[in-house]
Each structure stands twice: as C-alpha cells, then as structure tokens.
Copies of this chain bind each other. A is one copy, B any other.
Amino acid sequence: MNAEVSATFTPNREIQLETLLMLAELGQEEQVRAGLVDLHPADIAELLNALEEPEVKQQIFSFLAPDLASEVLSLVAPLTQEWLTQDLSNAVLSDLVERLDSDDAVDLLGSLSEEQARAVLDQVPDELSAEMEQLLRYPADTAGGIMQTEHVEVLQGCRVNEAIEIIRTHIDEVPDIHNVFIVDHARRLTGVLPLRKLILARPDEYVENVMDRQVIAARVDTDQEQVAQLFKKYDLVSLPVIDPQGVLLGRITIDDVVDVLEEEATEDIYKLAGLGGEGDVLDSPGRSIRRRLPWLALNLFTTTVSATVIALFEGTIHTVAIAAAFMTIVAAQGGNAGIQTLTVIVRGLALGEVSLAHTKRILLKELLVALGNGVALGCAAGLVAYLWKGEALLGMVLALALVVNLLIAAFVGSMIPFTMRRLGVDPAVASNVFVTACTDICGFLSFLGILTLLLRFL
C-alpha cells in the first residue's frame, strides 16, 4: 500500500535514453518495446525530441502501439512530429488521425501537404472527415483553430445520475473532463456543470438546478490571444466554444492555452529582437536566412540613413577625429535606454497592465527617468572623456549630447509602441529597429551638431 512517490516519477531519462538507443541499434526490438511500456507518454515524447537521428526517432516510434503512438505524437515538438510522420503511409496517417483528439488531428493534417492531407482524409470515415474539414476551415489562431470537438454535453431536463452515465460512456474519448456542458434541444449552450458540483448533487436532481448559468464561453472566431486572456482572468480550466447562434461546437482546455501563452511570449520576444514569425532555433539555415534577412536589410537601410547624418559632419570629424569614437557612445547609450523603455511598455501592453489611457503618465515618467539616468551617465562619460583626452570641451559636449539623446530615447521608446497600438498594429513589430534608428540618428546629430557649433563659435 506504500506506493512510491517521486518528485517527477520519471526514471533517470538519460540512462533510459541511452539504454533504449543501444537496444534499438542492436535490433533488440522486444526489449525496446518493453522499456517504453514503463514510460509516461510525455517522457517518450521528450525522449523522441532529444534523439539526434531522425531514423532512430522513427524506429522507436514504430515500436509504439497505435493508441500510445497517437498520444505521443500529440506531445512531441513540431519538428519531431515532421520527422516522425514524413515517411508514414497514408493508411497509417489516417489511423493516427482517427485516434488523435480532434485538435491534434487537425494540427497533424495541417503539417502535411494539401494533397497528402486530402489522401489521408479520404481514408477516414466520412463523418470524421467532414468534421476535420470543418475544423481545418477555422483560422489556426482563433478559438475554432485550437478547440477540440471532444466534450461531454447533456440535454437540459436530464437528471444528475443520467449525466453521470453519459460521462461514463464518453470517458475514453474525453479523458480530461472537468465540466459537463448543458444544452437545449437546439444544442445551444445554456449552462456549465463542473464535476465538483455534479459529485455533490442528489442523483435525482435536474441538471439545470445545479448548473452554473453565468457561462463564460468563446465564440468560434475569437482570437486565441483573447481566449488566453479569458482563461487567465477567470482562472478557467476549460472553456466552451459556441457559434454565433450559441450552439455548442467544442471546448478548449487549459493545456492548449498554456501553449498559446508561450507561443505569444515567444513571438513578442522574437519581434523585439527583429525576428519575424515564429522562427525555430532548430530550423534549417535556409529557413533562418529567409526569416532574418529582411530585418537585417531594414536595419541596413536605417543605419545607412544614420551614416549619411555622420557624413554631414565629415569636416568636423576630419578636424577632431576622436569625435568618431565619442559619437558611438552617445548613440549606443540612447539605443540601450530606448530599448529598455520600449520593452517595458510593449510587455505591459501585451499583459494588459497598461493601456492607451496611460500614455501621458508613462511618457512623463520615462522622461524623468531619462533625465535622471542622463545626468548620471553624462557626468560619468564626460569625466572619463576629459581624463582620457584632457579636453574639457569634448567631455562637456559628450555629457550634454548624452542627456539630449536619452530624452529622445525616452520619447520615441514610449511613443512608438503607443502609436502602433493606436493604429492597430502589434507594438512589438519592428519597434526595435525604429527606436534604434532614431537614437542613432539623434545621437550622432546631437553630439556632432553641438561639437560643430562650438568649434565654429569658440
């Protein structure tokens, strides 16, 4: 009776991995199969992700019983899924599609070529194929695109013990049930009955007398980011999805929302770094070049513009060559401070901590921060420049230009994301490039401009 409980219950994965690898290479099929049986599907998925050789991935995957295989397939990383499925026959793929949860089946079909997806759908039962085609029509980043059709619904007018019997008949298909959805005769959602309420209710009670009537549901065309916000705001574990008439179509569960949240965070991080789309660190070099080159080209354009600003002061640089060194300090500090401001605002907007209503207040705050930081850094930099080159003038110009550029950085770092949000554009996209372009140009302009003026009049 003293079942052992461990922190993760996962046996030492590395040993398991090496053992299974060796056994697979030795062709000890039976022993590999036996070793896999002990593992949680999530551990097998992790093992498959970790394997280097696609052939070994495929071999180990081929040892899994169909039901386990489909579950593992829904858990592996996208790239591993591609490797595992690319050489499978359409017959095997259609069997997997039948066994997978509908949302995972749709993801699998979506990763195939249109032609192959067609061929696979031809081999599954008509009803399932029609359902899949319907699901494939919803945009991937909407409630319809991430929902699964598997759920338990109970007609109002049923009693609690009848609802429990309906759960019993669906438990294989919907193992992770948290709520029973109550519908009327037109299959319109009228209430939600959490299992905890069901378990405490009298067996002969009508479901509508115990269900929650204030239902939080998402329309099928709701953006996935809004869906995630609903889960976060109301601490949900599952959310019914309805059509515009209120008819129940399916449900979204919290594990899918966790994936959405990570995806959105990754996208924001990537955009802030000047990376388009949802690039993958393990992508091929060609794909990565296609993804990154446009942003570098945009940056090349903006830095060329700021280089022309420098070129305007060729005369000054010719006279005071060291100015070329100092101007880079002003530009770099402005860029850094601008990115700091930009980042807290973009993240604040993404998390809903700030809104457009905060624009003025935040701009004022950022200018104050810039003034504080600018004076501190300007004094430090000016002093260093003076001590280094022995010229008080250069140090003063550096200090003054730093303060000016930090104020500009605060202004553009604040206004660019708010303006983009106001225009309905994602504030994370390319904001970085624009902010550093401004701080470069203004950095060079302020330092070289002030210096040139002083040289002329002193």
Binding site for B on A (CB under 8 A): 1-3, 5-9, 40, 42, 46, 49-50, 52, 77, 156, 164, 167-168, 171, 175-178, 184, 188-191, 195-196, 198-200, 208, 213-219, 222, 230-235, 237, 242, 246, 254-255, 257-258, 261-262, 265-266, 268-270, 272-275, 279-282, 284-286, 288-289, 292-293, 295-297, 299-300, 303-304, 306-308, 310-311, 314-315, 317-318, 321-329, 331-333, 336-337, 339-340, 342-345, 347-348, 351, 353-355, 357-358, 362, 365, 368-369, 372-373, 376-377, 380-381, 384, 436, 440, 444
- In the bound assembly, the distance between CA atoms of A241 and B308 in angstroms comes to 61
Tell me which of B7, B310, B373 contacts A217 (CB under 8 A). B7
B233 A46 Cβ-Cβ under 8 A: yes
A296 B215 Cβ-Cβ under 8 A: no
Asked whether A275 and B343 contact (CB < 8 A) given A3-B213, A262-B265, A348-B281, the answer is yes
B289 A373 Cβ-Cβ under 8 A: yes
- In the bound assembly, the distance between CA atoms of A299 and B317 in angstroms comes to 24
Tell me which of B8, B273, B292 contacts A369 (CB under 8 A). B292
A171 B189 Cβ-Cβ under 8 A: no
Question: What distance in Å separates the Cβ of A358 from its nearest Cβ neighbour in chain B?
Answer: 7
Question: What distance in Å separates the Cβ of A399 from its nearest Cβ neighbour in chain B?
Answer: 12
B285 A5 Cβ-Cβ under 8 A: no
Report the copy number of this chain in the oligomer.
Answer: 2
Could you pull out 20 A-B pairs where Cβ atoms are within 8 angstroms?
A2-B190, A5-B189, A50-B355, A171-B200, A178-B178, A195-B196, A258-B258, A268-B269, A281-B344, A281-B347, A281-B353, A289-B369, A289-B372, A297-B376, A299-B336, A300-B380, A303-B333, A304-B329, A310-B328, A314-B321
Question: What distance in Å separates the Cβ of A437 from its nearest Cβ neighbour in chain B?
Answer: 9
B337 A308 Cβ-Cβ under 8 A: no
Closest residue to A303 on the B side, CB-wise? B332
- In the bound assembly, the distance between CA atoms of A272 and B274 in angstroms comes to 13
Question: What distance in Å separates the Cβ of A343 from its nearest Cβ neighbour in chain B?
Answer: 4
Q: Which 3 residue pairs are nearest across A and B when measured between Cβ atoms?
A: A281-B348, A324-B324, A273-B343
Given pairs A7-B218, A269-B272, A300-B329, 16 additional interface contacts (CB within 8 A) = A167-B199, A171-B196, A178-B237, A235-B255, A254-B258, A265-B269, A268-B269, A269-B343, A274-B339, A280-B353, A285-B365, A289-B369, A296-B333, A299-B333, A300-B381, A315-B321
A336 B167 Cβ-Cβ under 8 A: no
Asked whether A340 and B295 contact (CB < 8 A) given A304-B384, A307-B328, A380-B300, the answer is yes
